[in-house]
Structure 1
Amino acid sequence: MMALASGGLAEITAVPSNLATIAWDERVAHWRGAILGVHQMHLSTVAHRDLKAENCLLMAGTHNAIEVRVSDLGRSKDFGLAPTLPPWVYLGGLGDRSHAAPEFLYLQGGNSGDDFRLADLYGLGSLLAELATGHGMTSLALGSWNDVLRQAEIDLAAGVTRNLSTLRSQYKRACAEAVEDVPGVIRNDVATLLEQLCDPVPGGRLPRYSGRRTRREDGLKWLLDKADILGRRLQVEARKPSYRRRKGAV
């Protein structure tokens, strides 16, 4: 797969000048490609557990369009099988700490399938932040992950458990900053998605049905639908100037 790839998504997101040249319809398409990959994994009872731009390959797709493929499954887990490690190992997660969901940095991670799926939702939200700013949500909201983890280790030794909901104000500010350069037609939707997917309380990342946060049995189809809506709104907005020009000519 590496030999077939045209490059990695991080080659775009990590360089501001490169990211600035990518139109938002392409960014949304790249994000949708990552969602689709994770969706397929979850339907097969597999969680990625280390989502970030660095682990997304750019591949030549239909009509030579560049598509994203989720890669580097070295830390993935078939959550249909029983955990293989002691529970304490999962407290801090197994992925890249600089992109880790807050429950892992605060040593409150779990080892169930739901724990892993919710962490992947955070990873997809963080990837959207990378596509918007070049930085993952963890660094945007929490700053140095080393400092957070160091304090969490002190708290764990003292028997103190951080209430993750107290981090929501930090994440809300980070989400607002992340969408400053997002096109106006999708800015509010992107901000809402970031706040949901990167909610520091894991259960808050689920979609809401009948007033309750509920896990869907059809994987991430709901999130694919959200990405499609973003794409369509960008397409409609792109057509508006041509409509105005034709109307003016008449």
Structure 2
Amino acid sequence: MAEKLLEVKDLFVNYGSIQAIKGISFEVNKGEIVSVLGANGAGKSTTLRTISGLIKPKAGHILYKDVDLAKMPAHKIVREGVSHSPEGRQVFGTLTVEENIKIGAFVKKSIDKDTLDWIYALFPRLLERRKQLAGTLSGGEQQMLAISRALMAKPQLLLLDEPSLGIAPILVKMIFTAIKEISKSGVTVLLVEQNAKAALKLADRGYVLDVGKVTIAGSATDLLNDPKVQEAYLGKKK
């Protein structure tokens, strides 16, 4: 029987008077890659930001290993084993690649060399550019860096927000290959991704958000074959 790692229950999130998340519930089992799909404004990034403590929910529960993260500050959530690679990468442009990666270990007492070596094996380009300023990297390389920074905290649950956004196709392929390797290493992945086809081919299960609500849920195979998903996100007509 699958071991539940994350359970989001009846989550509501507001931006002022605007209700961005309207009572969503979903779960992520240990070892899975779970993909969250939806149009712009559906609430995908808001969901991840709420799980990682960057936004506080109006109501609901975020149970991670039976600990409720809903009122916990972001740095303590990282200590619990949840790391977030944000939309837009948000690297520190005036620091080197290696300095950016090491910032990810801020909740640890020391830099874990084995983790750093593993990250460089995942992303050899970052090893080649480790002394380079992060602001001089390409968009795809910065995305690799954002993921690496999140991994440096040695998470059990990795939140990935739009890792393929605005990136050259060859680098997207490299990043998705790395996500598969991250999953094989034992890290559970919750993936928000605009490239629905690539995300579902990678994922075990998926959820579709529409205007702050979960409208479709199922295995990745079921979602790939769902006519509504095909028409809305995969470019196929009924």
Instruction: Give yes or no for TM over 0.5.
Output: no
Structure 2 length as normaliser, TM-score? 0.30
- Could you say which structure has the higher strand fraction? 2
- Could you say which structure has the higher helix fraction? 1
Report 1 or 2 for greater relative contact order, CA contacts < 8 Å, sequence distance ≥ 6: 2
Larger Rg: 1
